[in-house]
Amino acid sequence: MRKETILLYSTYLKHRFGGRVHKISVDAGFGCPNRSNGRAGHGCVFCDSSGSAAVGIARQVGIAQQLEQAQELMRRKYRAKWFIAYFQPYSNTFAPPAQLRHCYDQALAVNNVVGLAVGTRPDCVDDAVLDLLAEYHRRTYFWLEIGLQSCHDRTLNYLRRGHDYACFLDAYQRAKERGLRVCVHLIIGLPGESRDDILHTAREMARLGVDGIKLHLLHVLQGTPLGDSFLAGEVKTLGMDDYVQLVVDVLECLPPHTLIQRLTGDGPRELLLAPLWSLNKWEVLNAIGAELERRRTRQGSHYPGTISRTCDV
């Protein structure tokens, strides 16, 4: 897709740092307040035992080694020059501030790490934690990533998220009061949600003026409550064409200045039950680009205050 149609995070980073920047997922050993014992038991219905970890994390070694090993691979594969340490699996603010500081400092001490991204939940960022994160915002290039998935409480209840939308709004407001960059994670294709429901969530994010968005396709994984429901015939997943249409619908609603950090995703091949078409990630991305071109549209074309015009394709 042409860069003019979407404000892609990868393109933004390249301009900001003067070269290719890649995020490296790090497992620091944190748990999740939505699980019965940190990492034990089921939390959200879609989350597997890895805590939604990226494929390939070297969990058996420390933070610095994880980053160093991944850097070698990304230099060879992508010619990356700099890296952002992304604390991803489970809830990466689920610890006392002193422990969080120790982990974050280990990451920043690794050569060529130019920033941090910390993924967590809206019910896991008290004021003491946010004050700590604000220190890192002043010290380095920093993002707070908050998993929301949907603004509809009925959906959050179905997902067993353990919080409501009001909890997210409170966490978001307190983060913004401290000047933090916030990226919000949304899932498209959640059971029971219509196109109007999805676009309502998108418009809520636009109203808030969120700094970044990650769009995730609903993945059904083995060993999860959602997987059990899928195998019982109680849950259906989106086809690729439907997903592509919805992604472009959402992009049209978002402000032109919101950084798009993700447009799709692919679950672990060995655990993925559905949709199997998601394994062809580049095919999905190319289809999104083709749909933007077909509509002659762009990110923000339906956002209030944006001049309606066709894009240069």
Does residue 310 surpass a pLDDT of 80? no
pTM score > 0.75 for this model? yes
Q: What is the pLDDT of residues 53-97, one digit of tens each?
A: 566 676 779 999 999 999 999 999 999 999 999 999 999 999 999
Asked if residue 285 is part of any domain, the answer here is: yes
Per-residue pLDDT at 53: 59
Asked if residue 300 is part of any domain, the answer here is: no
Asked if residue 304 is part of any domain, the answer here is: no
Which domain does 269 fall in, by range?
Answer: 9-295
Averaged pLDDT for residues 237-265: 97
Q: How confident is the model at residue 116 (pLDDT cuts 50, 70, 90)?
A: very high
pLDDT > 70 fraction of the chain, expressed in percent and rounded: 92
β-strand pairing of 82-87 with 220-221: unpaired
Angle at 31 between CA 129 and CA 258, to 5 degrees: 55
Nearest C-alpha neighbor of 278 from the set 214, 227, 232, 220: 220
For the chain, the domain total comes to: 1
Find the helix packing angle between 97-108 and 63-78, rounded to 10°. Answer: 40
Averaged pLDDT for residues 10-17: 96
Q: What is the pLDDT of residues 15-62, one digit of tens each?
A: 999 999 999 999 999 999 988 665 556 689 999 877 665 666 767 799
Per-residue pLDDT at 240: 98
Asked if residue 309 is part of any domain, the answer here is: no
Per-residue pLDDT at 54: 62
Q: What is the pLDDT of residues 163-205, one digit of tens each?
A: 999 999 999 999 999 999 999 999 999 999 999 999 999 999 9
Three-state DSSP class for residue 273? strand
Q: What DSSP element (H or E) covers 274? A: strand 272-274
Distances in whole angstroms, Cα of residue 156 to Cα of each of 37, 50, 275: 21, 21, 21
Asked if residue 157 is part of any domain, the answer here is: yes
* Three-state secondary structure string covering 174-219: HHHHCCCCEEEEEEECCCCCCHHHHHHHHHHHHHHCCCEEEEEECC
Does residue 143 surpass a pLDDT of 80? yes
Asked if residue 61 is part of any domain, the answer here is: yes
Q: How confident is the model at residue 311 (pLDDT cuts 50, 70, 90)?
A: very low
Give strand pairing partners of 178: none
DSSP symbol at 91? -
CA count, 13 A, side-chain hemisphere, 83: 27
Averaged pLDDT for residues 273-282: 96
Q: What DSSP element (H or E) covers 141? A: strand 141-149
Q: What CATH number corresponds to the domain at position 19?
A: 3.20.20.70
Nearest C-alpha neighbor of 267 from the set 241, 242, 230, 232: 230
